[in-house]
Structure 1
Amino acid sequence: MEKPLKFCACWLLALILLALSPVPLVRSSDVTMADAAKQEFARRLAIFSINVYGKLSALKSGENVVFSPFSIQTCAAMARVGAEGETAAQLDSGLGLASNDVEQIAQGFHQVLAAYQDSQILRIANKIFIMDGHQLRQEFDQLLTKQFLSAAQSVNFANSAQAAATINGWVEQRTNHLIKDLVPPSALNADSRLVLVNAIHFKGTWQHQFPKHGTRPDTFYLNGERSVQVPMMSVKERFRYADLPALDAAALELPYKDSDLSMLIILPNSKTGLPALEEKLRFTPLSQITQALHKTQVLVKLPKFKAEFQVELSEVFQQLGMSKMFSDGAEFGKMLQSPEPLKVSAIIHKAFIDVNEEGTEAAAATGVIEMRMLMPDWEPTLFYVEHPFRFYIVNVDDTLLFAGRLVTLQTNPT
């Protein structure tokens, strides 16, 4: 019997908050409203994703990009509910939050976290690590515990090696041992006060599996001149598909079994079309693409691939207008009971993806090519992912959990 094709994804983000010096610091809605709130949350998350992706793409030119917009935004939002003044205002704007009220901010994330609280497919976990001898303010603690489903754990950051091992051990456990050594000991010291971490692990089975015997060596075009031979999976089935002439691209949705999650692949029509597609995607709402999808018979070819991605996001946040959180003037007075000024010293994001017949872990961007030919209705549409492409993992509300691009592939990854 063929093994089910699985997709699992793993992402996480750590916000490390470093204390400067120990001196004092100067309602219910109906279903329609709830649905509207979910759609607005998803819309704003998609905009944040576009902004972050643009910066990462520039920082990592010519590389695969893999990240979780939801993970990054969730962890930063946990810091936001403990912020005040200009620091809070910058986070509201830079994160694209729908409100500046901490209760409403937290509720927006709670509706997503709670929806997958008992899921066996998607696991999302938040954690606060706090310096021994310090305590969270009651309001901050309650908000994170109730709305972000986050627990606090005391550690001694002065023993940086042991503290890093504790944090990294929690991360590794929550990500099925896929993400290791997230926080280096060098990032921690006796002045560290808080580390906020969000971890996501996703493992799903394709609703329509790729037969393992159908995987054969095929060509993946890195650009107009270079190509590599890679194992190419294939399946013919009815999928939701859209031809997108305004983007000079096509889109395909690959749903996961027993889940409201799916992978959305956007494939430029030409081998060298990804840069132009990415520019157009900056101004194209994701919902506009998903609403254009319709079911049709499609012959899909998709490469097996692996990608790893790690980035320190402080520069990205500053470029997006969130700079005060890193300065000596940062205002995080709502976090600790003790009156210590805090600032963010690092934002670390690490991701891993492995896509094959039996499973995919994490997320990355891949070169994809699509060829659509006018044929009689009984002939399938061709969707050949044989050059660089964009991809996303989203739920039924278009909440963007993972995003990336694949522009390079190793020859015959195992």
Structure 2
Amino acid sequence: MVDAAHQEFARRLALFSINVYEKLSAQKPGENIVFSPFSIQTCAAMARIGADGETATQLDHGLGLVSSDADQIAHSFNQVLAAYQNSQVLRIANKIFVMEGYPLRQEFDQLLTKEFLSAAQSVNFAQSAQAAATINGWVEQRTNHLIKDLVPASALDSDSRLVLVNAIHFKGSWQHQFPKHATRPETFYLDAARSIQVPMMGLKEWFRYADLPALEASVLELPYKDSDLSMLIVLPNSKTGLSSLEEKLRAMTLSLITKELQETEVVVKLPKFKAEFQVELTDIFQQLGMSKMFTDQAEFGKMLQSPEPLKVSAIIHKAFIDVNEEGTEAATATGIVERDFVSFEEPIEFLADHPFIYALIHEEDLPLFWGSVVRLEENDSVSSEHDEL
């Protein structure tokens, strides 16, 4: 991808990430959120390739696509999808399932196969249990059996016509792993009044770090081994500063944030956390101005061989993340590469003891995952004196 084109693609995806995150946060207050903006955008863009008229225009604007030209849209996604086609670290599964008896146009199917690396598939939604088994079997196989039972049979029926499925699973090892012996119970502040004891990992190492007054937050980048992926953690200065940070992030792109990062010796305290998050995205898409695709007036004339009414019945998304000492999801621990730096200054402390936002990013600015940690499980039933307030 040409640098300028990549940057514009990443900038638009980051804005889409924040838009979706805002809606999900409002829909599920107090929950840890994790989703893949790239996976959602990719899957919806596959449907956009088959759309025209107002349906296409709404998708172009709502998704923040780089172009209104189908070939250019498809090619912009191919750059990233191709990079992870055979990855053992990141598994992306996107597919369009269409009702049997609705033959697809050859040009549409060829573009999906060539650029999105995923052909559409016909199923009989009327046989809901069998259709769900077909979809779930495909997702499970594509994610190396890590994501199962994505679509419940109850989500499908004889009226279903078009189901967009996207699932993503990431399994990476930190470039600098946290020593297990350094993990100990420490306080995590849920809000101004409540706190709990959680397993807090600890490590002193050189990382890219920045203090950003414009965000009233500090930012830490934790790179993954043997990849161009890293986790960016944005920690508000205030223990109750998450909602203010969410608003400020609208005005500062990921690329601007990562440009500010400097190699710094940092004492990191980060809680272990895991989140599994499944959501049906129809409401979110409608709130973002993409509503026609779900109605009987939806225009998907470029998808089918003959003009027939076709609308999206469901957009089902599932993401899973598990952050521990070795990395994200369990991975085999191997030797740690040490870097030789000499510092005469006190290391910076990055203490993630209150709600924060994180993004798992590709090449510094393209968000593959986006999430927040707002609550954690109590560690060993140790409770804070504030808990009952």
CA distance in 1, matches of 2:87, 2:140: 19
CA distance in 1, matches of 2:128, 2:82: 33
2:275 pairs with one of 307, 311, 320? 307
Matching residue's letter, 2:137: G
Deviation at residue 281 of structure 1 after TM alignment? 0.9
2:38 matches 1:38: no
Deviation at residue 397 of structure 1 after TM alignment? 4.6
CA distance in 2, matches of 1:154, 1:324: 23
Deviation at residue 50 of structure 1 after TM alignment? 1.2
Does the 8 Å contact 2:147/2:167 carry over to 1? no
2:20 matches 1:62: no
Deviation at residue 343 of structure 1 after TM alignment? 0.9
TM-score, normalization: structure 2?
Answer: 0.91
Question: Which digits, 9 at most, give the CA deviation of each residue in 1:97-143, with x for residues without a partner?
Answer: 11100000000000111122232212223333333344211110011
Measured at CA, do residues 346 and 299 of structure 1 come closer, stay the same or move farther in structure 2, by a change above 3 Å? same
Question: Which digits, 9 at most, give the CA deviation of each residue in 1:173-227, with x for residues without a partner?
Answer: 3234343322121222223333332332221110001111111111111111211
2:132 corresponds to which residue? 164
2:178 corresponds to which residue? 210
Measured at CA, do residues 377 and 277 of structure 1 come closer, stay the same or move farther in structure 2, by a change above 3 Å? farther
After superposing the two structures, state which structure 1 stretch, 119-128 or 87-96, moved more: 119-128
Instruction: Tell me the number of residue pairs that the alignment of Structure 1 and Structure 2 aligns.
Output: 369
Question: Which digits, 9 at most, give the CA deviation of each residue in 1:212-263, with x for residues without a partner?
Answer: 1111111111111211111111111100000111211100000001100000
CA distance in 2, matches of 1:278, 1:116: 29
1:272 pairs with one of 226, 230, 240? 240
2:55 corresponds to which residue? 87
Matching residue's letter, 1:136: L
1:232 pairs with one of 200, 221, 228? 200
2:119 matches 1:151: yes
Question: Which digits, 9 at most, give the CA deviation of each residue in 1:265-304, with x for residues without a partner?
Answer: 0001121111111111121111111100000100101111
Matching residue's letter, 1:50: I
Measured at CA, do residues 347 and 154 of structure 1 come closer, stay the same or move farther in structure 2, by a change above 3 Å? closer
1:405 pairs with one of 349, 372, 381? 372
2:94 corresponds to which residue? 126
Deviation at residue 410 of structure 1 after TM alignment? 0.6
Deviation at residue 149 of structure 1 after TM alignment? 0.3
Matching residue's letter, 2:358: F
1:352 corresponds to which residue? 320
Measured at CA, do residues 377 and 275 of structure 1 come closer, stay the same or move farther in structure 2, by a change above 3 Å? farther
1:343 pairs with one of 296, 302, 311? 311
Deviation at residue 413 of structure 1 after TM alignment? 7.9
1:115 corresponds to which residue? 83
2:258 corresponds to which residue? 290
User: Runs of 4+ in structure 1 displaced over 4 angstroms?
Assistant: none
CA distance in 1, matches of 2:375, 2:170: 23
1:17 corresponds to which residue? none
Superposition RMSD in Å: 1.8
Deviation at residue 337 of structure 1 after TM alignment? 1.8
Measured at CA, do residues 276 and 216 of structure 1 come closer, stay the same or move farther in structure 2, by a change above 3 Å? same
Structure 1: which 5+ residue stretches go unaligned? 1-32, 363-375
Does the 8 Å contact 1:238/1:297 carry over to 2? yes
CA distance in 2, matches of 1:119, 1:279: 34
CA distance in 2, matches of 1:387, 1:170: 38
2:219 matches 1:219: no
Matching residue's letter, 1:291: K
SS in 2 for 1:282: helix
Deviation at residue 312 of structure 1 after TM alignment? 1.8
Question: Which digits, 9 at most, give the CA deviation of each residue in 1:317-344, with x for residues without a partner?
Answer: 1111111111111101111224321111
Measured at CA, do residues 413 and 359 of structure 1 come closer, stay the same or move farther in structure 2, by a change above 3 Å? farther
Measured at CA, do residues 148 and 107 of structure 1 come closer, stay the same or move farther in structure 2, by a change above 3 Å? same
CA distance in 2, matches of 1:134, 1:155: 10
CA distance in 2, matches of 1:413, 1:146: 51
Does the 8 Å contact 2:99/2:125 carry over to 1? yes
2:357 matches 1:394: no
2:287 pairs with one of 304, 307, 319? 319
After superposing the two structures, state which structure 1 stretch, 126-135 or 41-50, moved more: 126-135
1:244 pairs with one of 170, 193, 212? 212
1:96 pairs with one of 61, 64, 89? 64
1:385 corresponds to which residue? 352
Deviation at residue 404 of structure 1 after TM alignment? 0.7
Matches within 5 A, 1:327-338: 327-338=295-306
Matching residue's letter, 1:181: D
CA distance in 2, matches of 1:67, 1:124: 12
After superposing the two structures, state which structure 1 stretch, 195-204 or 37-46, moved more: 195-204
Identity %: 77
CA distance in 2, matches of 1:318, 1:133: 28
CA distance in 2, matches of 1:86, 1:332: 10
Matching residue's letter, 1:158: A
Question: Which digits, 9 at most, give the CA deviation of each residue in 1:34-56, with x for residues without a partner?
Answer: 11111111011011111111111
Measured at CA, do residues 397 and 179 of structure 1 come closer, stay the same or move farther in structure 2, by a change above 3 Å? same
Matching residue's letter, 1:268: P
